[in-house]
Chains A and B, each alone.
Chain A
């Protein structure tokens, strides 16, 4: 199973999908597109590895994190 963690006020919302299941991949892709369209940035990450920026949805990435818009403070 692959998973996407969307950072939000609940800590994060987790979305899981089976890369072999077309329906689940389509659902995860739709969410990815929606969130990145709203300004979220996507990163492949996990197990302490450095993050990698994702510009498009890759169903084979085991773990990705969607980060809300970042602003200077």
Chain B
């Protein structure tokens, strides 16, 4: 029997609909998942092809994802990989495992530390921006820096990857992607990109991958 849930608080169902709302408190069997979704609480345990299995030790739950893309709102239909995985990993057996209080506490502390790191990184970035750049960031979610070549770059704070627009007369020529290890907070990436573009522009351009605007 395939088990599904229709949302963060939804009941188990055999006819699921996609939702972007995910928490660690429910078991999800996703045959398809949007690649951009973030699973901050996951603990990777195993993967097979494009299907990945995550376990959450605190709850003993298991999340199975597939990197194939299905637009929002479309009903999910279990594919062959998911049907096989559902047979191998029956949901009720996983659900019976009780939560581990220590793991729950570890997850809570991790979350607190990540939030503190995000705030420290944001404060540091703001210290290194001009008043005009701070206003851009607050008003638009991006700021502009100028390289020594005179080229202007727009650094968007929406993501650490693919977030640098190369500007020409306010039009985007193309996008650049270069970032630090993704374990550091987002605003640290933005500061690193700013410093590199201002003072080591040619090196940044050498490293970065180009993407169409």
Contact = CB atoms under 8 A, between A and B. Distances in A.
Given A68-B180, A69-B180, A73-B177, A11 B119 contact: yes
Give the residue among B118, B133, B188 with the most A Cβ atoms within 10 A: B188
Contacts of B16: none
Contacts of B204: 70
A51 B199 contact: yes
Contacts of A7: 121, 180, 184, 188, 191-192
Given A7-B192, A9-B183, A72-B178, A52 B199 contact: yes
Contact of A70 (B116, B118, B162, B207): B207
Q: Is the interface of B mostly helix, strand, loop or mixed?
A: helix
Nearest to A48: B130
A12 B195 contact: no
Interface of A: 5, 7-12, 41, 43, 45-48, 50-53, 65, 67-73
Interface residues of B, number: 40
Given A7-B191, A43-B199, A72 B207 contact: yes
The 3 residue pairs across chains A and B that have the minimum distance between CB atoms: A11-B120, A48-B130, A51-B195
Given A41-B195, A45-B128, 15 more contacts: A7-B121, A7-B184, A8-B188, A10-B117, A11-B119, A11-B123, A11-B185, A12-B188, A41-B200, A45-B195, A50-B146, A50-B199, A51-B199, A67-B180, A70-B180
B107 interface: no
Given A69-B180, A72-B209, A48 B124 contact: no
22 contacts: A10-B117, A11-B117, A11-B120, A11-B123, A12-B188, A41-B200, A46-B128, A47-B127, A48-B129, A50-B145, A50-B146, A51-B198, A52-B199, A53-B199, A65-B128, A65-B195, A67-B192, A67-B196, A70-B178, A70-B192, A72-B208, A73-B179
B209 A67 contact: no
Give the residue among A43, A65, A70, A72 with the most B Cβ atoms within 10 A: A70
